[in-house]
């Protein structure tokens, strides 16, 4: 992945993120961040990724992990958990859905391949929320997190320097009490994306805090 590190803050570009095929051949994953670095799938504390689902089938189980999934593009999928007693149609981009990672989940395609955004946090260690926002956001006071541009042009700044971000680009961070002064992201074009005045500039925004 293409990343530029500024202390506890790193930029990324989804277009440069390696695409790792699933073992069952049903799709692929692009990891944006896994904390702590180098942790395996059984040892991460929190993880954010983008996945492409190409065929129907069961989701992998992650005991002790809280999951949130959001459709980015494509026809969407229908999720069902017999043991959990729930069903959910994921067909609206920008609408996150939460579920327990240990729940057995079956995925049915609603059409062609779909791409979705995924947040996983280790229950009891961290808690996090995924949302879509259209206004300026501050990193101040947020222990950790990630943001990725969905539409429009956004600007990151720390009071001394700036960086322009477009669709698929973003950053993730892990703060201490001295690291986040003045850091923010904001839409460059106000409420609307450049060249598409009928489409709002939007950002996938994740704030993560210690559970204890």
Strand pairing partners for 138?
A: 184
For the chain, list the domains and their CATH numbers: 17-124 (2.60.120.10), 127-210 (2.60.120.10)
Q: What pLDDT, on a 0 to 100 scale, did the predictor assign at position 197?
A: 53
- CA-based torsion, 99, 102, 106, 111: positive or negative: positive
CA distance 113 to 99: 22
Residues 95 and 176 sit within 8 Å (Cβ to Cβ): no
Q: What pLDDT, on a 0 to 100 scale, did the predictor assign at position 74?
A: 97
pLDDT tens per residue across span 134-186: 999 999 889 999 999 999 999 999 988 999 999 999 999 998 755 556 899 99
198 band by pLDDT with thresholds 50, 70 and 90: low
Across all residues in the chain, what is the average pLDDT?
Answer: 89
- Model-level pTM? 0.90
CA distance 94 to 90: 10
Mean pLDDT, range 66-72, rounded to an integer: 98
40 band by pLDDT with thresholds 50, 70 and 90: confident
Long-range contacts of 10-15 (CB under 8 A, 24+ apart): 10/171, 10/172, 10/173, 11/156, 11/163, 11/165, 11/169, 11/170, 11/171, 12/148, 12/169, 12/170, 12/171, 12/172, 13/168, 13/169, 14/50, 14/148, 14/168, 14/169, 14/170, 15/168
7 band by pLDDT with thresholds 50, 70 and 90: very low
Residues 8 and 33 sit within 8 Å (Cβ to Cβ): no
């Amino acid at each position: 992945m293409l990343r530029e590190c500024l202390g506890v803050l790193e930029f990324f570009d989804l277009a440069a993120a390696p695409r790792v095929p699933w073992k069952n051949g049903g799709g692929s994953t692009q990891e944006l961040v896994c904390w702590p670095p180098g942790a395996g799938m059984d040892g991460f504390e929190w993880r954010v990724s983008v996945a492409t689902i190409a065929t129907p089938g069961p989701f992998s189980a992650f005991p002790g992990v809280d999951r949130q999934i959001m459709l980015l593009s494509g026809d969407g999928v229908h999720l069902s958990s017999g043991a959990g007693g729930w069903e959910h149609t994921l067909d609206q981009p920008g609408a996150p859905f939460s579920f327990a990672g240990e729940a057995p989940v079956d995925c049915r395609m609603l059409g062609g391949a779909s791409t979705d955004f995924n947040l996983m946090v280790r229950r009891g260690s961290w808690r996090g929320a995924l949302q879509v926002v259209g206004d300026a956001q501050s990193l101040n006071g947020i222990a950790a997190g990630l943001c990725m541009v969905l539409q429009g042009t956004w600007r990151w700044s720390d009071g001394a320097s700036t960086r322009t971000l477009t669709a698929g680009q973003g950053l993730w961070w892990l703060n201490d009490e001295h690291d986040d002064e003045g850091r923010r992201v904001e839409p460059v074009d106000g409420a609307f994306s450049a060249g598409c005045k009928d489409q709002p500039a939007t950002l996938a925004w994740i704030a993560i805090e210690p559970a204890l």
